[in-house]
């Protein structure tokens, strides 16, 4: 199977056509038609075997997650997803792996309506780069720099599930109830659901947003730096799933929820008065976890308002 067979077989018809694609896969480049009065929002993420996933990971999960992390970035900007490209490097054309990968990728693409419009296929160490594009009405993108003193800090969904799944590793859990819960955590790690609908709904309501990939503390820090403000987070308000509550060690909970990565939830800063209105528009729970304050520091408070120790950086690359 040469490169062109591979593209035809797995990728050319993976996603349904869209009216805003004038020319998709098959030419030297794609032609896209952003709606009048909109700006194009572009983001790229790379997943490398041995670093972001293991060589023997389920290829469906790899395909799903490679797109999910990009859709999560678009959601955090308030963008509506439209198009993506795929640069795929594989050691060899393994039909089982490619079919699985395409199935996972295609499932999430169809669910969110995003179209694959081009890419590149090369031979080498397994890695996947996706560039995703979306649109926002001009001037309406949500940035990291808009948080204001007095804003509520809110998060979608629950925190810590993926980090706990990673922590618990592949070890078999005892008992059936436990394994069902462990399965739920693993799904959160391997098949994160990007908050695409929430992304479009939060536009023009929130002042700043970021998606949570490296842990709440480290990611919120980016908003604080960009907005030149501080924040206080309330440890007891951080939302946890039933599976997380059942399987996490109480000693480790806070660390997993504050510094664990891979949540792919959204962290939002908005006027406290706007929370109820936003909640009605969302298809996912929204929890108020803290406030934006003057200064630069990020403080984590316990239920009595006492300051707790916190690694302010979450998980960092290149350390």
Interface residue with ligand ADP, options 15, 21, 25, 164 (CB under 6 A): 25
Smallest separation, CB 264 to ligand ADP (Å): 23
Which positions ≥6 away from 246 have C-beta within 8 Å? 177, 178, 181
- 122/204 with CB nearer Mg ion: 122
Q: What are phi and psi of 21, to 5 degrees?
A: -110, 110
Binding range to ligand ADP, per CB under 6 A, among 73-81, 100-108, 119-127, 286-294: 119-127
- The listed partner (Mg ion, ligand ADP, none) that binds 7, CB under 5 to 8 Å by sort, is ligand ADP
26 binds ligand ADP (CB under 6 A): yes
Burial degree of 19 (CB within 10 A; 0-12, 13-18, 19+): exposed
Residues 93-152 that bind Mg ion (CB under 5 A): 120
Q: By C-beta, is 105 or 243 nearer to ligand ADP?
A: 105
Minimum distance, C-beta of residue 134 to Mg ion, in the bound complex (Å): 23
Instruction: Confirm or reject binding of residue 3 to Mg ion (CB under 5 A).
Output: no
Q: Which stretch binds ligand ADP (CB under 6 A): 113-121, 171-179, 191-199, 209-217?
A: 113-121
Phi first, then psi: what are they for 23, rounded to 5°?
-155, 125
Find the shortest distance in angstroms from Cβ 6 to ligand ADP: 8
| Terminal Cα-to-Cα distance of the chain (whole angstroms) | 41
Secondary structure class of 129 (helix, strand, coil): strand
By C-beta, is 120 or 311 nearer to Mg ion? 120
CA–CA separation, 276 vs 154, rounded Å?
A: 12
Using CB under 6 A as the binding rule, the residues of this chain from 2 to 21 that contact ligand ADP are: 7, 11
Cα–Cα distance measured from residue 142 to residue 134, given in angstroms and rounded to the nearest whole number? 13
Angle ∠(157,195,186) on CA atoms, nearest 5: 60
Contacts to Mg ion by CB under 5 A: 120
């Amino acid at each position: 199977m040469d490169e062109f067979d591979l593209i035809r077989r797995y990728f050319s018809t993976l996603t349904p056509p869209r009216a805003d694609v004038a020319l998709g896969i098959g030419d030297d480049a794609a032609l896209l038609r952003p709606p009048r009065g909109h700006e194009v929002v572009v983001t790229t993420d790379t997943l490398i075997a041995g670093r972001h996933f293991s060589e023997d990971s389920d290829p469906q999960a790899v395909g799903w997650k490679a797109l999910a992390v990009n859709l999560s970035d678009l959601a955090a900007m308030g963008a509506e997803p439209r198009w993506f490209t795929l640069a795929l490097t594989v050691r060899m054309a393994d039909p089982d792996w490619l079919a699985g990968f395409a199935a996972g990728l295609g499932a999430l693409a169809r669910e969110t309506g995003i179209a694959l419009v081009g890419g590149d296929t090369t031979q080498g160490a397994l890695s996947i780069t996706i560039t995703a594009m979306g649109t926002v009405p001009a001037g309406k993108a949500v940035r990291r720099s808009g948080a204001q003193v007095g804003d509520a800090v809110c998060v979608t969904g629950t925190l810590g599930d993926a980090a706990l799944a990673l922590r618990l590793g592949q070890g078999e859990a005892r008992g059936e109830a436990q394994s069902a819960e462990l399965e739920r955590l693993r799904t959160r790690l391997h098949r994160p659901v990007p908050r695409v609908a929430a992304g479009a709904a939060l536009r023009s309501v929130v002042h700043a947003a970021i998606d949570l990939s490296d842990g709440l503390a480290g990611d919120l820090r980016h908003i604080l730096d960009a907005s030149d403000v501080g924040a206080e987070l309330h440890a007891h308000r951080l939302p946890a799933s039933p599976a997380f509550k059942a399987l996490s060690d109480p000693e480790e909970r806070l660390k997993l929820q504050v510094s664990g990565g891979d949540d792919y939830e959204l962290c939002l800063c908005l006027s406290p008065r706007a929370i109820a209105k936003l909640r009605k528009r969302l298809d996912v729970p929204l929890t108020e976890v803290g406030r934006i304050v003057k200064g630069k520091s990020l403080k984590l408070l316990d239920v009595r308002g006492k300051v707790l120790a916190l690694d302010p950086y979450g998980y960092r690359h290149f350390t």
